[in-house]
Amino acid sequence: MSEKQQCCARVYASGAWRSSQCSKASKVVRDGMPYCTIHDPVRVKEKSDARSAKWNSEWAAKSEEMKRQRVCVNACKGIPTAELEAGVLGDMREALVWLLNVEPNHNDVYYSDLSDRVRAIISRLPGEAP
Ligand SMILES: [Zn+2]
């Protein structure tokens, strides 16, 4: 490959109606065609793939955030915003923990089932296990 060979890529100058050949010297040959480092198809694909991966990652994070907001709004339907801000969910957890610590009436066949259900709900809420 000649060092003076010109890049074969077609480029548009600012405001130009037609493309012209890239004026840079070629540095690599791909499939028999000379390219400068800017228009090297391998480098162009790597940059494009990296941009796509970054965009996909950002979109996945944004999509997850939007899903979370939708789920939170639906889960909290009927609970006034002021109550949420005041920590009603934390208060609910405390109430459930208190309920678990109530001295059980061992003759009550429902206590065991209730206790298991309360523990299961508490385990799904943030905070340490009671
Ligand atoms: Zn070029």
Chain-wide mean pLDDT for the chain?
Answer: 89
Region 107-122 average pLDDT: 77
Q: Does 100 score more than 90 pLDDT?
A: no
Rounded Cα distance, 9 and 38, in Å: 10
In the predicted structure, residue 90 carries a pLDDT above the cut 70? yes
Could you tell me if 19 and 11 are in contact, meaning their C-beta atoms sit under 8 angstroms apart? yes
Amino acid 106: pLDDT: 62
State in Å: Cα 41 to ligand 1 middle: 10
- pTM equals 0.59
Question: Is the CB of residue 11 less than 8 Å from the CB of residue 22?
Answer: yes
CA–CA gap between residue 127 and residue 86 (Å, rounded): 17
DSSP, residue by residue, 33-87: EEE-TTT-HHHHHHHHHHHHHHHHHHHHHHHHHHHHHHHHHHHTTTS-HHHHHTT
CA of 48 to the centre of ligand 1 (A): 16
Output the CA 22–ligand 1 centroid distance in Å. 5
Q: Which residues surround ligand 1, an ion (CB under 5 A)?
A: 7, 9, 22, 24, 36, 39
**How does 3-28 read in b/e, with b if 16+ C-beta sit within 10 Å?**
eeeebbbeeeeeeeeeeeebeeebbb
Cα 21 to middle of ligand 1, angstroms: 8
Q: Cα(113) to centroid of ligand 1, in Å?
A: 73
pLDDT at 115 over 90: no
Q: How confident is the model at residue 26 (pLDDT cuts 50, 70, 90)?
A: very high
Place 2 in a pLDDT band, splitting at 50, 70 and 90: very low
Average pLDDT for 76-105: 87
